[in-house]
Structure 1
Amino acid sequence: MISSKIIGTGTFIPSIKKENKDFLNEHFLNEDGSSFDSDNDVIIEKFKAITGIEERRYAKPEYNSSDLAYFAAQKAIDDANINQEELDYIIIAHNFGDVKVGAVQSDMLPSLATRVKHKLGIENPNCVAYDILFGCPGWIEATIQAHAFIKAGMAKKCLVIGSETLSRVVDRYDRDSMIFSDGAGACILEATEEANVGILSHATQTFAKDEAFYLHYGSTFNKEENQDVQYIKMLGRKIYEFALVHVPAAMKFALDNAGVEIDDVKKIFIHQANEKMDEAIMKRFFRLFKKKVPEGIMPLSIRKLGNSSVATVPTLLDLVLKGEIENQEVNKGDVVIFASVGAGMNINAIVYRF
């Protein structure tokens, strides 16, 4: 039976480092435009305690999201050692397109996938390029779609990318702006007939009855600024509570369908949204099996890289595979889980064996 496996990964981590102390002079406001009672050093310390974030990366002004995607894609292609003309699909997950510094519009015409194909110089017209907007779980969902194409016999090799420049869609007066960062991660997915290798199972859900606008576009908290310019906004508490209930359930559903025992899971690559939330999700997940969370099962990059949305999971995977995260590795035969939650509200998970 045909399945799909990852044969190469790549990431692009922007060079501009923004530490928490760099926000000390910002003027953070409440949603109603009023000032906080606390000084910024207190706000920032509480922020770090909750999210775990110490610093984040921003892209250089001359680079847009499609540039970051291209850089990560080229690394993945080189890592896989393939002829890029053999790619059947290029799928890019993002949420805001190319946003130039100082711009108030996003640019998605042509698609970012088309732009990456152009930058790579791929001439093959049968290499289909398209974008997917699916919130932070976008890269995992794009990987699931590529897997479906491969299983259906419609593709043999796919390039899947997650890229974002969130630093350009945040409201500087909103303390949540400190969460977000820029980056890109990519992988090459290839058809395989190896038994019990690659993607074993997956799960996806969309909750849109009451949860649709937990993440949304909204105006700046500074009422003296242009209220027609829109920025990323989120209902943090509702997202936290939602994730704790639904992400562990989706992960368990995928694991049960894979026929894999919980004790065989070696790593869980979860969306780097909030360190404390991710730790709580892990506890809830293992509690479903009446187990404690194994030490070292959840690699982290959020402390130094922040939350780059669709880019966090492929970036984390690449860093672990390349030995860039201390005391974290994946070996042949290891079972891992990829999981994410984000705007939609969307949730997904993949169970994968290396």
Structure 2
Amino acid sequence: MIRSVIRGSGSALPRTAVSNAELAERVDTSDEWIVERTGIRQRYIAEDDETTSSLAVEASRKALEAAGLEAKDIDLIVLATATPDQTFPATATLVQHALGCNGGIAFDVGAVCSGFLYAMASADSMLRTGMAKRALVIGSETFSRILDWEDRTTCVLFGDGAGALVLEAQDVAEGGPGVLASKLHADGAHNELLYVDGGPSTTQTVGKLRMKGREVFRHAVVNLAAVLEETLAEVGLGPDDIDWVVPHQANARILDATARKLGLPVEKVIVTVDRHANTSAASVPLAFDAGVRDGRIKPGDLVMFEAMGGGFTWGASLVRL
């Protein structure tokens, strides 16, 4: 059967790391307040010369190197972001040109923190149907550009970064590697709980992020546990079969609560929120790359990706390495 197999991963972070103590010098907050509520200890903030596309290009080059491939081998780029370089064209096309693989398919996906799951499912579908052979699936964000730095309930939560995977269509045997199942959902009824208060068609401005954290937390735990169970049921597996969960890094308490709801040991959950904060669409591939490069995630492992974000959108993808 044809499956989309992960060949390599890469990530990129801005040059500047900002600790909670440094943030407290400009915002009415403290290290203790942030750590207790979120588990975040630092985040990376992009400088003026660092953009969503430049971070995406760096992560993509590292993923290609890990895969042993060159840019010319890529014929599909799907980039998930809520902070594109421009309203149009798609940031994916800027990445494509910078890498030097012009002529293939390149487009952006907008599903905020779930964007990488949407991007990976889109690329998987196109690879399995023969529209492309090898894909770069990227999550890249400069969320610091849309934060209200006067709102301590939101600005302390987010950071910038990028992560990328190389997917390749391969004919594999039953039980072999590749994307086994993906489930995606959305519910536009909850727009007011997590959104940006601007846009070209409404205010003609970029806008700032707004969030009602308590309500988002409640929906996240329920929705994430449900979609993980749904994805496992698709292939007749259970939580005990999972080697690693690579979740969206929104909040340490959400990660813990979701693991408990599924009966998963926290030792199976890749956590980077303490170092990266919430990097929206970049957080899942950033966390995956961290787990691969430190040796925890290995070939043959069964890995569950999951995320929920504004929209609401949420989803999960089960992958055998």
TM-score, length-normalised on structure 2? 0.93
Contact 2:146 2:206 in 1 (8 A): no
Local SS of the residue matching 1:179: coil
1:85 equivalent in structure 2 = 72
Instruction: Find out whether 1:50 has 2:37 as its counterpart.
Output: yes
Match for 1:181: what amino acid? G
Match of 2:55 among 68, 81, 101: 68
2:95 equivalent in structure 1 = 116
Match of 2:82 among 95, 98, 104: 95
Match for 1:171: what amino acid? D
Instruction: Find out whether 1:337 has 2:273 as its counterpart.
Output: no
Local SS of the residue matching 2:192: coil
Identity over aligned residues, as a percent? 31
- Name the CA distance, whole Å, in 1 between partners of 2:256 and 2:290: 20
- Name the CA distance, whole Å, in 2 between partners of 1:234 and 1:301: 22
Superposed displacement of residue 348, structure 1: 0.4
2:179 equivalent in structure 1 = 199
User: Structure 2: 5+ residue runs without aligned partners?
Assistant: 199-204
1:166 equivalent in structure 2 = 143
- Name the CA distance, whole Å, in 2 between partners of 1:184 and 1:258: 30
Aligned length: 312
Larger Rg: 1
Local SS of the residue matching 1:344: coil
TM-score, length-normalised on structure 1? 0.85
- Name the CA distance, whole Å, in 2 between partners of 1:74 and 1:199: 22
Superposed displacement of residue 213, structure 1: 2.5
Contact 1:258 1:351 in 2 (8 A): no
Deviations 1:153-192 (A, max 9, x none): 2111111100001111100110110111000000100011
Superposed displacement of residue 111, structure 1: 1.4
- Name the CA distance, whole Å, in 1 between partners of 2:193 and 2:280: 15
Match for 1:135: what amino acid? V
2:2 equivalent in structure 1 = 2
Local SS of the residue matching 1:348: strand
Superposed displacement of residue 349, structure 1: 0.1
Superposed displacement of residue 346, structure 1: 0.4
2:261 equivalent in structure 1 = 284
Contact 1:268 1:336 in 2 (8 A): yes
User: Map of 1:1-354 to 2, 5 A cutoff?
Assistant: 1-28=1-28, 40-41=29-30, 44-98=31-85, 107-123=86-102, 125=103, 127-175=104-152, 176-195=154-173, 196=175, 197-209=177-189, 211-218=190-197, 230-286=207-263, 293-323=264-294, 329-354=296-321
- Name the CA distance, whole Å, in 2 between partners of 1:155 and 1:260: 29
Contact 2:2 2:171 in 1 (8 A): yes
Contact 1:169 1:232 in 2 (8 A): yes
- Name the CA distance, whole Å, in 1 between partners of 2:283 and 2:139: 8
Aligned-residue Cα RMSD (Å) equals: 1.5
Contact 2:186 2:313 in 1 (8 A): yes
User: Structure 1: 5+ residue runs without aligned partners?
Assistant: 29-39, 99-106, 220-227, 287-292
Match for 2:14: what amino acid? P
Call closer, same or farther: CA 1:27–1:47 in 2, change over 3 Å.
closer
- Name the CA distance, whole Å, in 2 between partners of 1:256 and 1:153: 27
- Name the CA distance, whole Å, in 1 between partners of 2:57 and 2:280: 17
Local SS of the residue matching 1:17: strand
Deviations 1:290-330 (A, max 9, x none): xxx3251011111111111111110111111111xxxx612
1:102 equivalent in structure 2 = none
